[in-house]
Structure 1
Amino acid sequence: MTWADFWALTATLNGRATEANCHRLAKRLSRRPLPDITAFAEHHAEALYRLDQEQFGSLPVIGMTTETGGPFPQSGDSFLYARCAVVAAGRQTWENALADPAEFAPYTSLDYDGERLLYIPDEAYELATGKEWHRGTRYCYESFSNKEGWPHLRT
């Protein structure tokens, strides 16, 4: 599977990682050969990993403030879900966000929740095989795992 194939499949989401959109994508993916499901998972993890950078993770949550009125920081989970929302929005949005943190910022809003995107490869595999998928990917998409993106966290 090429990046073009990955983004073409992601376009099934119509820009949002809703339950219905994600299920539709998982069904479409489940009809493809198992190596495509694995390749989709790899591209998916890498796309999230590449967004795992301090310049994005340090942006405040839009529409929220601390008790003192200051910017409300993203948690590790909210940052992951914001990255998922960017990927769900499609290739152009993802590329724009990588080039400019201002393009990423709107996805920190509580109006965007891309969490459901995380489960698409697992759902597709289960639909295709009837079995649960215990998989790993080359890239870890958990927040703060991209050491190059978080220079001060390097050990």
Structure 2
Amino acid sequence: MNGKEGDIYITKLERDFFGAFKVIKIGKSFFEEIDGDLMMLGVLNYVDKKKPELNDERLNQILCCNRFLCSNQYAIDFYTNNPKYNDLSKFEYLGNRPMTEFETSIDFKLGDGRSGLKGGFPLVGLMGNDYGKTAFFEWRWENEKEEFKKEVEVENEKARIAREEYRKQSMKPKKMLDDNMFWEVIEKIDWTKDDDQERMEPAIDFLAKKKVSEIKQFQESLAYKLYLLDTKEHAQNIGEDSFKDESSNFSVDYFLYVRCCVIANGQEYFESVLKNPKDMPKDKDFEPLLYIAEEAYEKRMNKELEYETGCDYETFSNYKGWKK
């Protein structure tokens, strides 16, 4: 069984420092598909070479982050309260402290964490063993700011170079599904429905009846077609949010979902848009297509699909398409 409200756990940080976090609230999930309740966790303003004691006043303070682009952002997140995914027993239990007036006032609400206490906090996936490391990052910002900034700049540059080299690779798809069969699945999308999930159900059910190998081949075909549409010229023709230049705001996720919309509208439209980028849909997207193979596989096998495609469909992956 996971912890209860007010429970405090000790975390191990870098350089033999210790930190701590607290279970602030536990409540019902916002989503039916999430197995279990949600727990709201807050990283505490404690960083020290010795383990905290339960009466330490620093355990009364939720960490407020101000490093880099953070501006008075509280280190609070939602996690699934299910030991199968997030087992608090892997952390050392310190004890339980009464909730402070401040902690009680925090709304149990989803948000981006950047809009104040009433704006809600993000839902995160699995808790790593290094949970609470944000406290150490804030400590470095206060005590080693210049050194910390230089280290991050170096790491960011390394990551940028690695991404650039990855994009330059000539990506090749693995075995794909027969093209006629691929478009047969796409044709099952029911556009008479208003709800996206209801639209997708016939296609998901149809694909779920295929062989496991064919479900993976469908995912491969989808990734390759999305990759082919990932060009600068296509991105420049999606309406209000079109790509303009390197210095302008451009949503890489939205462009991916627009490309999904192209494929969801069938073979004839896809082939037309591939040749004529100006025919890209304007201000329309269809994200649900991205998950069709995952949902079909899960329906058939009752477990998550673990498969890596040969081509990366994320925006900017088609190096040649963006260098034109």
Please classify the TM superposition score into its range, dividing by the shorter chain length. 0.7 to 0.9
Q: 2:216 aligns to what?
A: 38
Return 11-20 or 85-94, whichever deviates more.
Answer: 11-20
Asked if 1:108 is matched to 2:282, the reply is yes
Larger Rg: 2
Equivalent AA in structure 2 for residue 59 of structure 1: N
Asked if 1:94 is matched to 2:94, the reply is no
Contact 1:22–1:116 under 8 Å retained in 2: yes
Q: Secondary structure at the match of 1:13?
A: coil
* Separation in 1, partners of 2:310, 2:238: 29
Runs of 4+ in 1 over 4 A off after TM superposition: 14-17
Deviation for aligned residue 1:23: 2.2
Return 8-17 or 134-143, whichever deviates more.
Answer: 8-17
Q: Secondary structure at the match of 2:239?
A: strand
Q: 1:151 aligns to what?
A: 323
Q: Please, which of 9, 22, 30 is the counterpart of residue 200 of structure 2?
A: 22
Gaps of 5+ in 1: 66-71
Q: Which has the higher strand share?
A: 2
Given the superposition, is the C-alpha separation of residues 75 and 32 from structure 1 closer, same or farther in structure 2, using an over 3 Å criterion?
same
Deviation for aligned residue 1:119: 0.6
Deviation for aligned residue 1:91: 0.4
- Could you state the TM-score of these two structures normalised by the residue count of structure 1? 0.82
Q: Secondary structure at the match of 2:270?
A: helix
* Separation in 1, partners of 2:209, 2:227: 26
Deviation for aligned residue 1:59: 2.5
Contact 2:190–2:200 under 8 Å retained in 1: no
Equivalent AA in structure 2 for residue 146 of structure 1: N
Gaps of 5+ in 2: 1-176, 243-247
Q: 1:57 aligns to what?
A: 235
* Separation in 1, partners of 2:236, 2:253: 13
Deviation for aligned residue 1:26: 1.1
Q: Which has the higher helix share?
A: 1
Contact 1:60–1:73 under 8 Å retained in 2: no
Q: Secondary structure at the match of 1:134?
A: coil
Given the superposition, is the C-alpha separation of residues 5 and 73 from structure 1 closer, same or farther in structure 2, using an over 3 Å criterion?
farther
* Separation in 2, partners of 1:25, 1:135: 20
Q: 1:137 aligns to what?
A: 309
Given the superposition, is the C-alpha separation of residues 126 and 52 from structure 1 closer, same or farther in structure 2, using an over 3 Å criterion?
same
* Separation in 2, partners of 1:19, 1:135: 23
* Separation in 1, partners of 2:279, 2:238: 13
